[in-house]
A = this chain, B = another copy of it.
Amino acid sequence: MTAQAAPRRGRPGYDRAEVLRIAVELFNQQGYDATSVADLAQRLGLSKSALYHHFDSKEQLLSLALDDALNGLEAALESALAQEGTVADTLTGLIRGAILVLTEQQPQVTLLLRLRGNSPVEIAALERRRNFDHRVIDLVRQAQAEGVLRSDIGAGIATRLVFGMVNSIAEWYRPAGSVAAEELSGDVIAIALEGLQPR
């Protein structure tokens, strides 16, 4: 860290991970586009130069956070595909994995879900998300072809709606709350497969 004359209220000894965590929190609170490097420096109680010691740019912080979320989701898909079992097992494994990523990396996933595509970093992340979606839609289509899932609802719409349930969890899940991620996964899978009517 270079010597600075600028105010450094408290000046805590942040490491990169901590700076990233606080940046993502601020992006989610006031929007990425509305957050300046000066805002972030102020929140951290660091000078802008001290902040640039940790990161090159605001976009780099965004990019790292989106990578966290996308790497997690892609790993959940790979892991579900690597499991022994039917395509139905793959899909339920994927839902469980995605909800785990979402609850463990809620701030990064929230950022991903709110992207508008206003910069190259955002456009690249949206493209990765689109590829992920298409791989899942292909799985649902396969499950429909095998008769494991009903085929009167299009694979694209069914996938988007079920992931609508999954993603909505980012809006209201509280890590310290009364509902565990595992219980939530069970509920989402129950609704997605069986629905809410009593059997």
A residues whose Cβ falls under 8 Å from a Cβ of B:
28-34, 114, 116, 118, 147-150, 152-154, 157-158, 160-169, 171-172, 179, 184, 187-188, 190-199
Closest Cβ of chain B to A187, distance in Å, is: 5
Which of B34, B195, B197 meets A31, CB within 8 Å?
Answer: B34
Which of B28, B147, B191, B193 meets A161, CB within 8 Å?
Answer: B191
The verdict on A31 contacting B29 (CB below 8 Å), with A150-B198, A195-B194, A197-B193 known, is: no
**Chain B residues with Cβ under 8 A from A190's Cβ?**
152-153, 195
**Chain B residues with Cβ under 8 A from A193's Cβ?**
195-197
**Chain B residues with Cβ under 8 A from A28's Cβ?**
116
User: Of A28, A165, A188, A198, which is in contact with the most chain B CB atoms at under 10 Å from its CB?
Assistant: A165
Closest Cβ of chain B to A34, distance in Å, is: 4
The verdict on A194 contacting B191 (CB below 8 Å), with A31-B116, A167-B168, A168-B161 known, is: no
Please list the 5 inter-chain residue pairs (A to B) with the smallest Cβ-Cβ separation, ordered nearest first: A164-B168, A195-B195, A33-B34, A34-B34, A31-B31
